[in-house]
Amino acid sequence: MDPLHSEANSEDEKPDAEPLDGPAEIGASEGEEEALPAWTPDPDKLLCALLFASQDYLGARALRDMLGEEWDVAGVRRLAREVNAKLAEQGLPFEVMEVDATFRLRTQPKYYPWVRKLFKDSYPRRLSQASLETLAIIAYKQPITKAEIESIRGVNVDGCMKSLLEKKLVDVHGRADAVGGAFTYSTTREFMRYFGINRVPDDLPRLSEFEAIVNAQALIPQVSADGTLIEKSQPDDGEQLRMDPLE
């Protein structure tokens, strides 16, 4: 008899080997992960962990599901202030940012020149002078119709409105009550997040500050060598934005 054939047959006749412990251990591990943890983290540390792990702003409802039913928007705001106080006390470069009852952990603006190097393939959002002026008018006069914007600027704003709508900085608010029911426009949550605004109009920058941003032709933080934020100014002969009231 062929010895190789005989050996193969003997192997076939052997009883099935007992299963390894691996799958059973994996199943037990999965069961343990689904079980409630044996410890409860400090709320401030848990908030930091959740915001750090999230790729986007977390709303109050999502945070309530993870932090606990006892956490409402006011409670999360208090917790965010406590976290920011501790981060500042330790000199850490992070802060909790709130925008329209949504929260996110971000680096402080003064670190922008260095953090920007991580995203060389992406381009900062820039707007033309005309688009920035239009955006400023909408921010302070919203809801406002296109005709009213053009009345303030004195020029056609079709191109500016298209750019702002594409960048999701403004959106249609509704229709005006006047005859004809023209569309009105207002700023969006994306606008608030970009400018670090929590509530409109309460947290809008002072008109002079917004005009400085507009006239600097940039929405990107400008930082001096010592790490302080600076404002760029436009030459004296440049066209300056004026926020004249509507007649």
| CA-atom Rg of the chain in angstroms | 29
Same domain, 143 and 221: yes
CA nearest neighbour of 103 among 125, 81, 70: 81
Same domain, 135 and 78: no
Residue 28 lies in a domain: no
Residue 220 lies in a domain: yes
Same domain, 221 and 138: yes
Q: Is 238 left (phi over 0), alpha (psi -120 to 50) or beta?
A: beta
Residue range of the domain that includes 59 = 43-107
pLDDT band, very low/low/confident/very high, at 212 (cuts 50, 70, 90): low
Residue 192 lies in a domain: yes
Same domain, 209 and 137: yes
Burial state string for 167-205 with b = 16 or more CB within 10 A and e = fewer than 16: bebbeebeebeeeeeeebbbbbbebbbbbebeebeeebe
Question: 160 near 130, Cβ under 8 Å?
Answer: yes
Same domain, 154 and 211: yes
Angle at 73 between CA 58 and CA 63, to 5 degrees: 35
Question: 63 near 43, Cβ under 8 Å?
Answer: no
pTM for this one? 0.56
Residue 31 lies in a domain: no
Same domain, 224 and 136: yes
Same domain, 96 and 179: no
User: Which residue has better confidence, 92 or 101?
Assistant: 92
User: Which residue has better confidence, 242 or 99?
Assistant: 99
Same domain, 160 and 218: yes
Question: 72 near 60, Cβ under 8 Å?
Answer: yes
Residue 179 lies in a domain: yes
Same domain, 145 and 204: yes
Domain count, the chain: 2
Residue 19 lies in a domain: no
pLDDT given at position 195: 76
Same domain, 216 and 143: yes
- Residue 69 maps to which CATH number? 1.10.10.10
Same domain, 152 and 187: yes
pLDDT, tens only, 31-75:
445 565 678 899 999 999 999 999 889 998 899 889 988 898 899
